[in-house]
Amino acid sequence: MPVVMTATAPCRIEIVGVAGSGKSTLTRALMERDARWQLADHLHTRVPAHWPYVAHSIPRVLPLVATSAHARPLLSWDEVKFLIYVSEWSRFLRVKHASAPTVLDQGPVFALACLLWGGKPLTRTGTFRRWLNEMVESWSRELRAIVRLVAPEEILLERINGRDQRHEAKGRARRESVEVLESHERAYCELFDVIDGLGRPPVLCFDTSTSSAVDVAGEVAARLEGGS
């Protein structure tokens, strides 16, 4: 069913894809197309105003941290922050973006993928799997759609190596770079299997090697607003 953006029913979408797929470019294209769109603020563990969210996440996050003490190696601080973000970001967004259509670039699906592609033993435990399924189920109700961007490996590597940002796949031998991208894609596929099982939210997939960001933005807007 088409999704209509209204003031009382805010539209939140997440744009996902491996590095170089065009997430930031599409985000800009959406915001340039329609001034109503906002880029989602991030929950920051170092900002005092956000500490209540961090505190609220402890009952969910602490069992995972404790499990990682047995299923070593321990989680890194960055990985703990991903746990906090996924657990609390929806509450944060309801306050910060109560009504405006909002784009999540590096949102909860991205954070969950980062935890999975790290390959820590924790991610294979029942404790983590129960938490992951709970979080995907919860976020599936918060997001109106997920926009999944893909592109051939050669295009992705060309884009990654041609930009200033650091990345795990940048500057490596081709085989090593491809292995990094494939591990990231496997993590996304694992999450999309869970999402497919739930039947929500709808996933809109685009190949950015054949479609421009402007064209994709137009198609996304049309799908969300019920256009053809």
Domain membership flag for residue 7: no
Q: What proportion of the chain, given as a percentage, has pLDDT over 70? A: 94
Contact 71, 126 (CB under 8 A): no
**How do residues 146-177 score in pLDDT, each as one tens digit?**
999 999 999 999 999 998 888 888 888 999 99
Domain that holds residue 43: 12-225
Contacts for 48 with CB less than 8 Å, ≥ 6 apart: none
Q: Report how many domains make up the chain.
A: 1
Q: Which pLDDT value is given to residue 212?
A: 96
Q: Is residue 6 part of a domain?
A: no
Q: What mean pLDDT is reported for the chain? A: 90
| Cβ neighbour number for residue 73 with a 10 Å cutoff | 11
Dist CA 168 CA 19 (whole Å)? 10
CATH number at residue 94: 3.40.50.300
Please give the model's pTM, rounded to 2 decimal places.
Answer: 0.89
Is 2 part of a structural domain of the chain? no
Q: Residue 113 to residues 15, 56, 128, 174: CA-CA distances in angstroms?
A: 13, 23, 13, 22
The reply to whether 17 falls in a domain is: yes
200 located within any domain: yes
Angle (nearest 5°) at CA 153 between 85 and 135: 20
